[in-house]
Amino acid sequence: MKNRIFTGAATALITPMNEDGSVNFERLSTLVDEQINGGIDALVICGTTGEKSTLRYDEHLKVIEQSVKACAGRVPIIAGTGSNDTVYSVELCSDAEKVGADAFLMVTPYYNKASQEGLVAHYNYIADRVNKPIILYNVPSRTGVNIKPETYKELSKHKLIVATKEANGDLSSVAKTKYLCGDDLDIYSGNDDQIVPMLSLGGIGVISVLSNLLPLQVHNICNDYLSGNTQTAMENQIKYIGLIDALFSDVNPVPVKTAMNILGYNAGPFRQPLYKMNEKALNNLKQKLTECGL
């Protein structure tokens, strides 16, 4: 078995903004501290939920660096460093490592896409040039390309490619990936509505949007299942399905940032082209927050 980055729940943390659209670094530090005190097992910084795609390079690195400082080694900091430019990803990984990132989350190349052979070449090229472990990120609804189980098997041969965040929604594919890769590739759910199903197929945790609001509860879903309390884990997975659906009723991270602002977390605005929720979706989100006691 390769070195494991974390077991349980990692929050794909939002990037808080000031009203003028600049990054609110003071609030970022507070959110990091609140997440860790809330029981989270790891933090993903500058992922999709962190609005990576609209952060400038210098902002991107500063958000990672500030998160590392606020964390102070208490949990792993996983930096989103994926790109559709292979060489750019290497540069970003190198700089993220210099400011203290413990691991990298690397989405499949978006827009220009890649063949399965191209994915192997892309990830191996990067892995050969970095010093920290890599979590692959498979989210074909955003990128237009899906990592097949056989490709996972090939990628898992690299010592630094240790895990995947699987968000393709295909549990049969997850089962085949686990069958082919065994202990050479850890699997994290990339969908909050599939935490327990993914754990039942050999997954070891989740990279979560929901945990921005409920870090302890998402941690507990994972911990209960992995500790053998499967009934409790299942009941809590189902308990939050309505809220999870509401958090994905618009483009992530619009709903979760909206929810955090409603609850007083001072998450701030999101950057265009992201746009505010429509009234129907907003009212549903408020209702689901109320139903969950928030």
Which residues are the active-site residues? 137, 165
Query: DSSP for 184-238?
Result: GSEEEES-GGGHHHHHHTT--EEEESGGGT-HHHHHHHHHHHHTT-HHHHHHHHH
Mode of pairing for the β-strands spanning 103-107 and 8-12: unpaired
Which pair of tokens denotes residue 130?
């970095």
Between CA 151 and CA 157, with CA 153 as vertex, the angle to 5 degrees is: 115
| Long-range pairs for 158-161: beta carbons < 8 A, 24 or more residues apart | 158/123, 158/124, 158/127, 158/128, 159/2, 160/127, 160/130, 160/131, 160/132, 160/133, 160/134, 161/123, 161/124, 161/127, 161/133, 161/134, 161/136, 161/185
